[in-house]
Structure 1
Amino acid sequence: MLSFDILNKDPMQFARYHRYVAYFLILIIFLAALYSNAVHPAHPFIIIAIIFLIPFIQNYSSNRLIRRFGYPLAKNIILLIDALFVAFWLISIEFAVIPSLLVIIGLIYGAIWVRVSWLGLLTIVLFSVSMLYLLCYLLGINNIDFKTSPMVVSVISIMCLTIYLSVGLIYFNHRLHHIETEKKQVDEQVTKYLTLANKLARYAPSQIWQSIIRGEHEAKIDNKRKKLTIFFSDIQGFTELSEKLLPDDLAFILNDYFEHMTDIARRHGGTVDKYMGDAILIFFGDPESKGYKEDAKACIYMAMAMLNEMKILRERWKRLGYNGLHIRIGINTGYCHVGNFGTSSRMSYTIVGRDANLAARLQTAAEIDQILISESTYQLVKDSFTCLEKGELQLKGLSEPVLTWQIVGRQDSEKAATNRWIDYELQGFHLQLDLNELKPYEGAKAIQILEQVTKRLKMEETRYQPHDKYKR
């Protein structure tokens, strides 16, 4: 049985050991033929010495050839030496059929093992045949007459070929198992690192870590001045509510709120900068931008979607005993410095600048469930949204008044093209339908639910108007 040390060699090293095995087995075949008087060479010891020394000469030469010419050329030279030996072997074995054929098979197997092309294999065979005829000519052999070999020689030849092929197949199977084990380990490591990367990615905006993975962004201290649309919101009355609630209840509401708002920001292409208490800072225009106007419109769409989502959240929170939670939103468009700020050991991808502060001040000045925008944002979105001028406001921290506008809704033309949101609210009744989010295969189910609700409402109406049945 082969030692595991040989099986663990790389293919090039194993090929050398395999060649030793091949020539050792050829030597056994020749000794068997010599012992059974199947061959009668004039100088048998010279033939034995040649068979014994050739693999050592080949391996010594291959090392030097590989260093000088590279493996592909060295491999072809070694195979030509093997082809020359095959011609020498046929003459030495006196053209005994079985030993000759099996050594030729061994030569072809060895060539295939080292990945010789079919053209290269044909060249080796032609070279071997040419060398055979050349040696026959030099040695004065006029006729090449193949003969049968004694049974013992044939059996030993077949056994030797079987051993030679088995050694290669055992190594191949071991190598395949080794590769599969390594692949499994690599897959486990990749899965581990992907899981870890997914966990770490939650501490940074998805657009940033995705651009880092794609090689578009480097994790180094760097920033640039860029025109952005900045969104700032907070929950009205959250500070007072936090004094009344237990920490666990407060954390539940806050995380529930952040989960839904962040999902809306992601769908609209916003970069979530940070969470500050109950406030959220989001900006549009970096690292991905569709242009100033489209970025501003996407931000407004996102803000309106958040107000609609808050209606659902308020109903859910109301059933849990938390009432009256509303948000205020401020939006501004202007130039900020955006990029990595901090140190080489710890950094944050964020924005800084006056226009970022202006968005925060607009949010503070906004009323509940109101979207308050600056003049610069208004100029970009006025053709798509109905806006109500709120006049100039003196905002805290700013030396001059700021002209502000309130987003009322989409323009009629914009509604016709993009409004796929249905929203009705009555006392005890709230219907929201987002046709952009509804899957086509869920349309029938939605219709079935609406029909069930309609049927239930009709039953309730009949219940509270029993006299109707006597009017027929």
Structure 2
Amino acid sequence: MIRAPANIRDTGKIPANAIDSAEGTPSTTVHIMPDYLGRTLGYAAMAAIMIAGIADGVHSVWLFGMAGFAIVWPHLAQLFSLDARKRNSSTIRQHLLLIDSAISGAFIGSLGLISISAAAIALMMMVTCFVVGGLKQWASGSLILSAAALTVFFLFNPGYAITLPPVADLLAVIVAGVYICATALFSHQQAKALRHATLLIQAQREQSIALSQKLSKYMSPQVWQTIFTGQRDARLETQRKKLAVFFSDIQGFTDLSEEMEPEALTDVLNHYLNEMSQIALKHGGTIDKFVGDSIMIFFGDPTSRGQRADTLACVSMAIDMRKHMKILRQKWRSQGIKTPLQIRMGISTGYTTVGNFGAENRMDYTIIGKEVNLASRMEHLAQPGEILVTHEAFSLIKDSIMCRDKGEVTVKGFSRPIAVYQVIDHRCDLGRNRSFMEHEHSGFTLYLDSEKVNENDRVAILQALDEAASRLRHQRD
């Protein structure tokens, strides 16, 4: 008849080992109040009220059978629903509660509807329905209880209402009070346990976020995002895609390594790779790997904006890297590094095989194919500060990027000569209206991108240029 609210674990609290040692997940199976205990309590009260009525001569002796059923039913319900609860605990709990509503209604009808005992039983039933299943369960339980009560009342007690002895009413009130208090106590314990579980889950979530952020530093952000969002599985699989492939290295880095201590050289290299990585990510490139001072980047996977846009983004990235090297050289010169470091870059566009390569327990997300080799060959052919692209890449960017035809060259691993083009600059940045200016001489470096200068900085820059021009004129005179 009377059921306990939904539960989390029989003990009513989270044990010390609520976090699973293997999985690290907080337990979410704490019981508020065991169904079996609540149902047994309610039906015991029903049996006691019946027996009190029979002893006072209000009820017929045949109701001993109903009292016996009230004592046995909780045990039968627990036994028959044990396996079903393991499969779908919530559904079975709600179905049993509807059966309890029908039985409670029949009992209330036999009491004559208006007795204090009937009201107490109805109160316990409604509280349980509302706590377990909310408003919907309360409405269903109320409807079934009312229908059963009216049916039994008009079938067996037409035209009069039964008044139970005071002892039976007192017993019903006591049982109802105890049950409601127990429900409130267990509800409080559940709320406390859930708050504790929430804190554990929050702590685990923050720990997982911190761990994932650490792991993200070992792979490209695009690849990391597709794995952690479930878009891609960590298994050995590849596909053919048309990508723009980029290679670069530092000309003069080997000579520099002979002049500097390893610690200082490491700082220079890490600073360079960090600056270049920021530029690559700004343009949407997937950073494949660092090999010493060499960088390998590709565009078009895991996400692609189309072959033309991917190739244009790759070349634009290379131009920005070349421009940014002037700033880095000036900074390194101020640190006493006199070797004029330059980068050379090669770009190729074509079909490659991209995906996870390696072993089941150690994978590397990378690309292979002749276009990868060709981009590497372009990088080796480039002069310091030069960007070389293949004919396929040139055909996709020629409307936006000014390039110079350098003819055909024979490269290792390719039987036919390869058409090579030198990247000059964005067409919009050429001529008198170009936004970018750069000049570099001994004792003087100018790097200006007028599109990025705001109005406040413009005044300060003009003042600095006027002061510099005044000093130069004064020295000449």
Confirm or deny: 8 A CA contact 1:83 1:107 kept in the other structure.
Answer: no
Identify which of 71, 74, 81 aligns with 2:103.
81
TM-score, scaled to structure 2: 0.80
User: In structure 2, what is the equivalent of residue 104 of structure 1?
Assistant: 122
Q: 1:65 to 1:348 in 2, by over 3 A?
A: closer
Confirm or deny: 8 A CA contact 1:62 1:78 kept in the other structure.
Answer: no
Residue 330 of structure 2: SS of its match in structure 1? Answer: helix
Deviations 1:43-81 (A, max 9, x none): 698767744651531440464367689624443223211
Question: 2: distance between equivalents of 1:415 and 1:173?
Answer: 73
Q: How does 1:9-20 map to 2 (within 5 A)?
A: 14-20=34-40
Per-residue deviation, 1:155: 6.2
Deviations 1:199-239 (A, max 9, x none): 22222222222222333322222223332221110011001
Identify which of 147, 164, 168 aligns with 2:179.
164
TM-score, scaled to structure 1: 0.81
Per-residue deviation, 1:331: 0.8
Q: Which amino acid aligns with 1:224?
A: Q
Per-residue deviation, 1:428: 3.2
Per-residue deviation, 1:109: 1.6
Residue 7 of structure 1: SS of its match in structure 2? Answer: coil
Question: 1: distance between equivalents of 2:310 and 2:471?
Answer: 52
Q: Which amino acid aligns with 2:242?
A: K
Confirm or deny: 8 A CA contact 2:33 2:183 kept in the other structure.
Answer: no
Identify which of 387, 398, 414 aligns with 1:371.
387
Question: 2: distance between equivalents of 1:45 and 1:420?
Answer: 106
1:132 matched to 2:153? yes
Deviations 1:337-377 (A, max 9, x none): 22222111112111222221121111111111111111221
1:54 matched to 2:70? yes
1:410 matched to 2:426? yes
Question: 1: distance between equivalents of 2:141 and 2:114?
Answer: 27
Question: 2: distance between equivalents of 1:303 and 1:203?
Answer: 23
Question: 1: distance between equivalents of 2:326 and 2:307?
Answer: 30
Q: 1:375 to 1:188 in 2, by over 3 A?
A: same
1:317 matched to 2:332? yes
Deviations 1:229-271 (A, max 9, x none): 2111001100110111111111111111111211221221211
Per-residue deviation, 1:318: 2.0
Question: 2: distance between equivalents of 1:5 and 1:272?
Answer: 52
Per-residue deviation, 1:10: 5.8
Q: Which runs of 5+ in 2 are unaligned?
A: 1-8, 14-28
Question: 2: distance between equivalents of 1:420 and 1:157?
Answer: 92
Confirm or deny: 8 A CA contact 1:385 1:409 kept in the other structure.
Answer: yes
Q: Which amino acid aligns with 1:393?
A: V
The worse-fitting range, judged by mean Cα deviation, of 121-130 and 263-272 is: 121-130
Give me the CA root mean square deviation: 3.5
Q: Which runs of 5+ in 1 are unaligned?
A: 467-472
User: In structure 2, what is the equivalent of residue 470 of structure 1?
Assistant: none
Q: 1:112 to 1:198 in 2, by over 3 A?
A: same
Q: 1:454 to 1:382 in 2, by over 3 A?
A: closer
- How many residue pairs align between the two structures? 438
Q: 1:264 to 1:421 in 2, by over 3 A?
A: farther
1:216 matched to 2:234? no
Question: 2: distance between equivalents of 1:177 and 1:368?
Answer: 67
Question: 1: distance between equivalents of 2:434 and 2:74?
Answer: 78
User: In structure 2, what is the equivalent of residue 144 of structure 1?
Assistant: 161
Confirm or deny: 8 A CA contact 1:424 1:432 kept in the other structure.
Answer: yes
1:113 matched to 2:118? no
User: In structure 2, what is the equivalent of residue 469 of structure 1?
Assistant: none
Q: How does 1:111-260 map to 2 (within 5 A)?
A: 111-115=129-133, 116-137=137-158, 142-144=159-161, 157-260=172-275
Per-residue deviation, 1:107: 2.1
1:389 matched to 2:394? no
Deviations 1:373-432 (A, max 9, x none): 1122112211221111112233345444322111111224x889xx99644446535344
User: In structure 1, what is the equivalent of residue 297 of structure 2?
Assistant: 282
